[in-house]
Amino acid sequence: MKFGVVVFPGSNCDQDVIDALQHTTQKEVVRLWHKDHDLQNCDFIVLPGGFSYGDYLRSGAIARFSPIMQEVVKFANSGGYVWGICNGFQILTEAGLLPGALLRNTSQQFICQNVYITPTNTEALPTALLEPGKAYQIPIAHGEGRFHADADTLKELEDNGQIMFRYCDANGQVTDVCNCNGSLLNIAGVTNKNKNVFGMMPHPERAVDPELNNTDGRLLFESLLQAVQA
């Protein structure tokens, strides 16, 4: 298993993801520059958080046209695993690899805080070892994280089990009060129909180190590795 982390101009969570992958999976991790066309035979691609191209136009709208995204799209469409975190999630929706869109938070403010999310099922690689209905504390840091989709798409997401995470309280209860950014159905993460492309706004790579008093994010990295190797 070899992981590739794509670096765009403005990425600022690439090293966090690299450290998290190396420490939790003990596998090879390489950087993939946005101007390249070579995925270096990686088995799993991660698009990290940050502010690619300064978030001009819309978050992820310019990064979607980076040369390497041509290869990421081909890779994903052929069944390869791709995980987008925060800005990476935004890029995947702009590229059409994931449904929906990420809009400005209802507060119209950038939000940086710990939140709770709960997995809806264990069918996605990052949720394979998690417990549906249980709350996991994961940090968020975004200004455009409000998940939006039309009614038909939302129904399809629910029917196909494509909703990966929902915002919840410390007890795992999904309520309007804990919907930090106004996402429809409290959605914090989704997958594509084939469940090989994943996107989420919270940052699990910021919750893997005991020194930060939070290791809930470590479970997501361990989950995807175990699921892939099973």
Q: Which helix (H) or strand (E) holds 33?
A: strand 28-33
86 as an active site residue: the answer is yes
How far is C-alpha 52 from the geometric centre of its chain's CA atoms? 15
34 as an active site residue: the answer is no
Q: Please give the structure tokens belonging to residue 44.
A: 């799993």
DSSP three-state, residue 188: strand
Which listed residue (71, 94, 144, 205) is catalytic?
205
Which listed residue (42, 86, 178, 180) is catalytic?
86
Q: Please give the structure tokens belonging to residue 77.
A: 């469409």
CA pair distance 204, 198, nearest whole angstrom? 13
Distances (CA, A) of 164 to 128, 133, 174, 186: 11, 12, 13, 11
205 as an active site residue: the answer is yes
Which listed residue (13, 34, 94, 203) is catalytic?
203
Cite the active site residues.
Answer: 86, 203, 205
